[in-house]
A and B are shown apart, each in its own frame.
Chain A
Amino acid sequence: MEMTRRDLFALAAGLAAVGLINVPADASTDELQAAIEKFAGGTPKTGGVEITAPEIAENGNTVPIEVDAPGAASILVLAAGNPRPGVATFHFSKMSAESRGATRIRLAKTQEVVAVAKMADGSTTMARREIKVTIGGCGG
């Protein structure tokens, strides 16, 4: 049987699906998902947390961000395009005026910052925000 290009593509996709050939997967996507799942215990709904950050960060070595999730017990901050996704986790208390925390982070390149908020009852919500980075910062 003659193999058409369509057949070849289907074959390759099939082999990749069973892990027999290497399709370049974004390693950080899996790590990002794993980090979200570890914190949230599932897939968070979209919403409920606001990320405040510049649209364009001139210096990826120090990008100011603030995360705010009314009523949250904790907020996890991840950087989808960094070598490792973990950035920080803020934990609030009944003495917190708001479930809000701010810091400065390192972004290796233009990417999405992800914030996952967890309520006292364990439910989670999530937001993503792209930050353009002109000079990347991860110390490389």
Chain B
Amino acid sequence: MSKIKPRVKVPRKAKAGEAVTIKTLISHSMESGQRKDKKTGDLIPRKIINKFVAFYNGETVFSADLEPAVAANPYIQFSVKLSEPGTMRFEWTDDDGSTYDVEKKIKVA
């Protein structure tokens, strides 16, 4: 399976209390468990990102529970309003227990 890579688009600066849009993407095939191997006819087992969480200074600001109906290379967009500078951390969890994470600092004034 190709490398699972997360990417996020987060502004480096934000005004306190102003809405900020966060865009996230992780390259992942989101194997639904419904496809059949063309050669053997066996079902390819499910393997998806089933959870996404965004933390700001350690506090959960947004999360999403994902099912196989979420498209491959899951794109998730949400918005936050921040009142202080800090670090946003994004964590994706795979069915197999692996987690992937990215951190971004945001200057809030």
B71 touches A97 (CB 8 A): no
Contact flags B12-50 to A (C-beta < 8 A → 1, else 0): 000000011000000000011011000000000000000
Task: Looking at the assembled complex, report how far the CB atom of B63 sits from the nearest CB atom of chain A, in whole angstroms.
Answer: 5
Chain A contacts for B65, CB-based, 8 A: 88-89, 91
B63 touches A87 (CB 8 A): no
Contact of B71 among A92, A95, A100, A106 (CB under 8 A): A106
Task: Looking at the assembled complex, report how far the CB atom of B47 sits from the nearest CB atom of chain A, in whole angstroms.
Answer: 12
**A104 contacts the other chain (CB 8 A):** yes
Task: Looking at the assembled complex, report how far the CB atom of A47 sits from the nearest CB atom of chain B, in whole angstroms.
Answer: 22
A105 touches B69 (CB 8 A): yes
Contact of A98 among B19, B59, B68, B82 (CB under 8 A): B19
B19 touches A106 (CB 8 A): no
A97 to B19, CA, bound (A): 5
Closest to A100 in B: B79
B67 touches A97 (CB 8 A): no
Number of chain A residues close to chain B: CB under 8 A: 33
Task: Looking at the assembled complex, report how far the CB atom of B82 sits from the nearest CB atom of chain A, in whole angstroms.
Answer: 7
Q: Tell me what chain A mostly uses at the interface: helix, strand, loop, or mixed.
A: strand
Name, among B60, B64, B75, the residue most crowded by chain A CB atoms within 10 Å (CB to CB).
B64
Residues on B lying within 8 angstroms of A by beta carbon are 19-20, 31-32, 34-35, 56, 59-72, 74-82
Chain B contacts for A45, CB-based, 8 A: none
Task: Looking at the assembled complex, report how far the CB atom of A101 sits from the nearest CB atom of chain B, in whole angstroms.
Answer: 5
Chain A contacts for B20, CB-based, 8 A: 97
A56-112, CB < 8 A from B: 61-64, 66, 79, 82-84, 86-93, 95-98, 100-107
B35 touches A106 (CB 8 A): no
A101 touches B34 (CB 8 A): no
A61 to B64, CA, bound (A): 19
**A24 contacts the other chain (CB 8 A):** no
Task: Looking at the assembled complex, report how far the CB atom of B97 sits from the nearest CB atom of chain A, in whole angstroms.
Answer: 20
Task: Looking at the assembled complex, report how far the CB atom of A88 sits from the nearest CB atom of chain B, in whole angstroms.
Answer: 5
A96 touches B32 (CB 8 A): no
Contact of B69 among A66, A87, A102 (CB under 8 A): A87
A84 touches B82 (CB 8 A): no
Chain B contacts for A86, CB-based, 8 A: 67, 69
A79 to B74, CA, bound (A): 17
**A139 contacts the other chain (CB 8 A):** yes
